[in-house]
A = this chain, B = another copy of it.
Amino acid sequence: MTNMKRIAVLTSGGDAPGMNACIRAIVLTAEHFNVSVIGFRHGYYGLLNSEHVEISTDMVSNIIQNGGTILHSARCPEFKTEKAALKAANSLDALGIDALLVIGGDGSFHGAHHLQQYWHKPVIGLPGTIDNDIYGTDATIGYFTAIETALDAIDKIRDTADAFERVFLIEVMGRHAGFIGLSASISSGADQVLLPEINNDNEAAFKNLVARIETTREKKGQCSYIVVVAENLWPGGVTALAEKINSELSIESRPVVLGHIQRGGSPSPQDRILATKLGAYAVECALQGKSGIMVGEQNQQLVEVSLPHTWQNQKPLDPYLVKIQTEFFDILE
């Protein structure tokens, strides 16, 4: 295809299960095209500080199943400056890098776009975040595993919720998007879900929550009631929400914040497959000289999306899942 000899890869922002599978796919595909791969450690921070390593096929031979990222990740606010981008461009040129692949989320893509103004070789983003809040790809690497981890936790909590017939408020990740929350709620059979896309009025949401719990208990008697709540929705999170319920009502509720377990774990098959496809395809795109794009998958087709499009548009929740949760399965409807 081209005369490329050496490409680089880094993982940036919140780590996500499947990043290692993606690095592996990049290295194996590059080897197929006789291209070597340099990895920067600690995301853009490592790019600025020349923390790099050549990634051999041996190094990736047994990592597809591991969470985290062998390249480590970091946040790097200082990368936003012109000075940083120029330094990065010089560093890439000094190492003879022909293309840069960035695995990360929203912030990482802003960084990639910024760099591209100062470095005129292919820069390609790969969507790696558990939050799935990237427009232009049906799913992001890590999203499927995060759902699975959240579901596994909720399945466990349901056991004890059922034994004690208690109300549980379970906070899941998602940054400002409700993807994990909706999927975890539907797949766990939760009684209710509070999501940023649906619940923009907290007072109304609270009234509704109470009404549903009361109606459920009128109909079924004492029973468990599980509410999935997206992070960053209720001020103070589920701990504060549980306190409000416990103090204002005669209903006792328990908060559980799932937290960072959702970022780790062995990637699920869907994440490994997506990571492998996007990794291979990103190498192909780089070799074809494409730049300023994110590679993604839409409707089972590999696609290229302009980097700014990935953050200028908002990916909607599945409307039918919303309908099921808030209409078909809602005791008040």
Residues of A at under 8 Å CB distance from B? 11, 14-15, 17, 19, 21, 24-25, 28-29, 32, 62, 64-69, 72-74, 138, 144, 147-149, 151, 153, 155-165, 168, 183-184, 186-189, 254, 256-257, 259-261, 263-266, 268-270, 272-273, 276-277, 280-281, 299-300, 302, 318, 320-321, 324, 327-329, 333
Question: In the bound complex, do residue A280 and residue B324 qualify as a contact, i.e. CB atoms below 8 Å apart?
Answer: yes
Q: A265-B155, A270-B144, A320-B277 are in contact. Are A259 and B257 (CB under 8 A)?
A: yes
Which partner residue on chain B sits nearest A327 by CB separation? B32
Residues of B within 8 A of A281 (CB): 320
Residues of B within 8 A of A162 (CB): 62, 68, 72
Question: In the bound complex, do residue A299 and residue B302 qualify as a contact, i.e. CB atoms below 8 Å apart?
Answer: no
Q: CB within 8 A of A32: which of B28, B168, B273, B333?
A: B333
Question: In the bound complex, do residue A159 and residue B264 qualify as a contact, i.e. CB atoms below 8 Å apart?
Answer: yes
Residues of B within 8 A of A256 (CB): 259-261
Which partner residue on chain B sits nearest A276 by CB separation? B186
Q: CB within 8 A of A261: which of B157, B186, B187, B302?
A: B157
Q: CB within 8 A of A156: which of B19, B163, B165, B263?
A: B263
Question: In the bound complex, do residue B187 and residue A272 qualify as a contact, i.e. CB atoms below 8 Å apart?
Answer: yes
CA distance A149 to B155 in the complex (A): 12
Residues of B within 8 A of A269 (CB): 144, 147-148, 151, 183-184, 187
Besides A11-B163, A68-B163, 11 more A-B contacts (Cβ < 8 Å) are A14-B160, A15-B160, A28-B328, A32-B327, A64-B187, A64-B189, A153-B261, A155-B265, A160-B263, A161-B260, A186-B276
Q: CB within 8 A of A160: which of B24, B160, B264?
A: B264
Q: CB within 8 A of A72: which of B29, B165, B254, B280?
A: B165
Residues of B within 8 A of A149 (CB): 156
Q: CB within 8 A of A24: which of B24, B163, B189, B327?
A: B189
CA distance A148 to B269 in the complex (A): 6
Question: In the bound complex, do residue A164 and residue B32 qualify as a contact, i.e. CB atoms below 8 Å apart?
Answer: no
Q: CB within 8 A of A277: which of B66, B153, B164, B324?
A: B324
| Most chain B beta carbons < 10 A, residue from A62, A320, A328 | A328
Which partner residue on chain B sits nearest A154 by CB separation? B261
